[in-house]
Amino acid sequence: MKLWIVALTLLLAGISLRVDAGTWQPAAGHVQVPLWPGTPPDAQPMPGPESATLRTEHLIAGRPWLAVSNVGQPTLTVYAPGEKNTGTAVVVFPGGGFQVLAIDLEGTEVCAWLTSQGITCVLLKYRVPSAPYDWRRRTYPDDFALPQPALQDAQRAIRLVRFHAARWHVDPHHVGVIGFSAGGYLAAETSTQFKRESYPPVDAADRESDRPDFVLAIYPGHLAFDDGKLNPNVPVTRDTPPTFLVQAEDDHTDGVSQSLVYAAALAKAHVPAELHIYAHGGHAFGLRPTAAPITHWPALAATWLRTIGALPK
């Protein structure tokens, strides 16, 4: 019996628990590859060994979700679209507050949707926990005097996709990113900090551009401060790529102002953008179907990808 079925059975019996599922591995037929050829830049010791834990204390659409923690060795996992290959690729940044990664809810389940659209999905397992990201002290991931391991991993991932474009049957001019929650911030960060060299080049792949061609930020966090001002470390300019935003008004984790403030900055810089605000949906809904209208956001995203030319019309 699968671990999540066991967990759900115990939940229905009134028992809440977390189930250790060991180290995360992709499904059969998919292989994780190291993001860096050796030790990652600015490597920091982890609090413990990497582990994957099935979280059952907060169900998403009636199901638990898998949290990967203590990631010190980041990886990529490539999911090919099969016969219907549009040549477009998307790097996926799962959320988790820069403390863990929601590797299924905001990772593998996203890849299943993307590949169904003919998109090559590249799932990034980036380093967490990741200083200076610490929600307990309400600090924002914006102190560039400190190492930025998540940004380093994200920039490296985009460059690797372009470097392996021919091998992975990808158009290097159609490489986008999608991020959820903290991963939504990371997606915005890659689209505004691509001129910042966050690490010294390590090989030929680092000669590739790390600017995404388009961005999808789903219930993003950290984009705006409590006073309604844009986080200065996502400096939107006219060079920021086209962006798609989704958030719920009842998102009490990060707040709907995250997308509103960021969308206003995009509009001011004349960056093509599309913003969808829903009355209900909360936070961390991913792509799991519910009765709420917000559950249909993937169809809107696919339409938007066609309007910007990332997918054939």
Give the C-alpha separation, 188 to 166, whole Å: 26
Give the C-alpha separation, 11 to 31, whole Å: 32
Query: How would you write the pLDDT of the chain (313 residues) with one tens digit per residue?
Result: 344 444 433 333 333 345 666 789 999 999 999 999 999 999 988 989 999 999 998 899 999 999 999 999 999 999 999 889 999 999 999 999 999 999 999 999 999 999 999 999 999 999 999 766 664 444 445 566 677 899 999 999 999 999 999 999 999 999 999 999 999 999 999 999 999 989 999 999 999 999 999 999 999 999 998 899 999 989 999 999 999 999 999 999 989 999 999 999 999 999 999 999 999 999 999 999 999 999 999 999 999 999 999 999 8
- Residue 131 domain flag: yes
Look up the pTM and report it: 0.92
- The domain spanning residue 209 has which CATH number? 3.40.50.1820
Element (H, E) at 124: strand 120-125
Q: How many residues does the chain have?
A: 313
- Residue 20 domain flag: no
Burial environment of residue 224 by CB neighbours within 10 A (0 to 12, 13 to 18, 19 or more) = buried
Q: How many structural domains compose the chain?
A: 1
- Residue 155 domain flag: yes
Q: In terms of C-beta distances under 8 Å and separation of at least 24 residues, what long-range contacts does 57-60 make, across chains too?
A: 57/16, 57/17, 57/18, 59/8, 59/11, 60/105, 60/284, 60/285, 60/286, 60/288
pLDDT of residue 134: 60
262 in Cβ contact with 236 (< 8 Å): yes
Which structural domain, as residue segments, surrounds residue 162? Answer: 36-45+66-307
- Residue 3 domain flag: no
- Residue 101 domain flag: yes
H helix intervals, 63-169: 109-116, 149-163
